[in-house]
Amino acid sequence: MSKRMTRFALLSCASLTLLGLAAPALAQSAGGTIRIVTSFTVDDLNPAVGTASNFLYDYGANETMMRLLDDGINHPWLLEALENTGPNTWVLTLREGITFQNGKPLDVEALLAAIERQRALAPVSRSALPEGSTFEITGEREITLTTPVPFANVPAVLSQDTIFPVYDVEAVEAVGEDWEQLAGAGIYTGPFILETLSPEGMTLRRYEDYWQGMPALETVDVRFVTDAMARVLAVQNGEADIAMYPPSAAAEVIARTPGMHYVLGGLPAGGFIAFTNVSAAPMDDANVRLAVQYGINYEEIASEVFQGLREVPTGLFASAFEWALAGQHYDPEHAAMLLDEAGWAPGPDGIRVKDGERLEIVALIYPQQPDLPPMTNAMQFQLRQIGIDFQARSVDDINGALLGDDVDWDIGFLSNATVSWGSPDQFFQRYIASSGDMNFAGYANDEVDALISDILATVAPEERLPLLTRVQEILIEEDPYAIMTSVSSGRAVVNDRFRDYVPGTHNIFVTWETAPSEAQ
């Protein structure tokens, strides 16, 4: 079944190519221009709560104090150094010679202003550090962060694009709430200045006084294209250099197409996660959740649906991290036993029944991730073998659907990092802890909450390991809530001009060194 499904997906991809599906019209390639098509749009330039800080980080405008690189380590970026000087104190030392793109110097006063504006206006910034944390200028280039309790996740917090993006607060506040005026205002420090923004896309131009050196590219041209195959065809038709978020099913066809390449890169920090609705039947029963976990054939999904382009998950975290616990695996016999114990008996059509109700699961997916339909198609077949009627429904706003009360769901899929900027702490804090702002279904486990509190306060790796091991044991083997269904790295479809292009960790798509292959 799954092999036929995979072949059908490949044939569909090839058919679209042969039909010549209309691709978006983009500017013609110039020597110093990179043309990118992506599924995610920038629709609000407010750096505190809009989409700007997130996606402008991807394309070289927004920068952060720290940055996670492919070695899995958070390195000083706009900071020269970050030092843990005591259980509750961290000293942030700013680099010299950095300016905003509008020419203003980035000094400690400007940096502190950006930090405090984020904390005042952005819920994600307020919740990222323990309540009562303070930032204070303590030197010509130093800011001291003091937390009320030890807090290990500071390097990751200072790396994340939406928590503490660094921007010129004076310039931002000068536009009031007319955020469109920020296009061209040069409020960030990165190698590329956002020049224009429209519903169709955006353009960025080189910032010639960038602190690391002259950026290799002159222009970054980004177009927002929802349809995955239209993005791939834009590369094939010579209208784009790079297509982001290509469907895995297209890889085999692309490999046979002259001038096109399917590339992978970046540290695998997450993948597709199935969040279960523990607040409503049937997923309020831990045995049902465990049965779903054991009923998914992860290896088949990785090898056949995704053609080996995604890693087989063995737990909540990619195996690249030495503390990741490998306890998740396919075991349909055990899944069936768990459903028997939960009182779900096989019905006449093979779907299990309890108290006259069929075991039906509604899973929410979203169109921005084209790999979700083939994966959930395979899961539908796999889970039916243990008596679960699994159906996927697409929604445009997946976070809104999972956090709201308007849509009924049993499982919600997200493409998300469980190791956020090198650390699992934020995932635990936001998605798993009972107080988390992204705990979609009100999952609550007292031991898990206590372990998360200890993890957040523990800096030493040798002291963190037993805590991390125990919390994973609970979340995988005893009381699951989130199930990793595939592990992914960054991926893109590129033309010959950018054949050596590698997507960076956490969607670092364009840097000051990005250049055509012949120029590298």
Q: In the prediction, which pLDDT does 516 show?
A: 94
Rounded CA separation 398/440 (Å): 11
Q: In the prediction, which pLDDT does 131 show?
A: 92
Rounded CA separation 504/277 (Å): 33
Confidence of residue 49 (pLDDT cuts 50, 70, 90): confident
66-169 topology per CATH? Dipeptide-binding Protein; domain 1 (3.90.76)
Mean pLDDT within 101-107? 98
Model confidence at 13: pLDDT above 60: no
Rounded CA separation 336/182 (Å): 57
Helices 2-19 and 228-236 meet at what angle, rounded to 10? 50
Confidence of residue 55 (pLDDT cuts 50, 70, 90): very high
Architecture of 268-488 per CATH? Roll (3.10)
Rounded CA separation 485/369 (Å): 14
Q: What is the number of alpha carbons within 13 Å of residue 98 lying toward its C-beta?
A: 27
pTM as predicted:
0.75
Q: In the prediction, which pLDDT does 520 show?
A: 54
Quickly tell me which residue has 């349909």 as its tokens.
332
Mean pLDDT within 292-318? 94
Domain coordinates in residue numbering, the chain: 2-60+172-266+489-519, 66-169, 268-488
Model confidence at 26: pLDDT above 80: no
Residues 58-91: pLDDT tens digits? 999 999 999 988 777 899 999 999 999 999 999 9
Instruction: Output the six-digit token pair for 299.
Output: 């290896």
Model confidence at 267: pLDDT above 90: no
Confidence of residue 499 (pLDDT cuts 50, 70, 90): very high
Rounded to 5°, the CA angle 177-183-189 comes to 105
Rounded CA separation 493/30 (Å): 19
**Prior bond of 150 cis (ω within 30°):** no
Average pLDDT, the chain: 91
- Residue 400 makes CB contacts below 8 A (sequence gap 6+) with none
Residues 409-446: pLDDT tens digits? 999 999 988 998 889 998 999 999 999 999 999 999 99
Per DSSP, the three-state class of 390 is: strand
- Strand ranges of the sheet holding 89-94, from the earlier edge strand across to the other edge: 79-86, 89-94, 142-146, 134-139
Confidence of residue 295 (pLDDT cuts 50, 70, 90): very high
Determine contact, residues 126/119, Cβ cutoff 8 Å: yes
The DSSP 8-state label assigned to residue 249 in this structure reads G
Q: In the prediction, which pLDDT does 403 show?
A: 95
Residues 128-162: pLDDT tens digits? 899 999 999 999 999 999 999 999 999 999 999 99
Residues 373-399: pLDDT tens digits? 999 999 999 999 999 999 999 999 999
Q: Which CATH superfamily is domain 2-60+172-266+489-519 in?
A: Periplasmic binding protein-like II (3.40.190.10)
Mean pLDDT within 306-335? 92
* Percent of residues, the chain, with pLDDT higher than 70: 94
Rounded CA separation 433/482 (Å): 12
Confidence of residue 233 (pLDDT cuts 50, 70, 90): very high
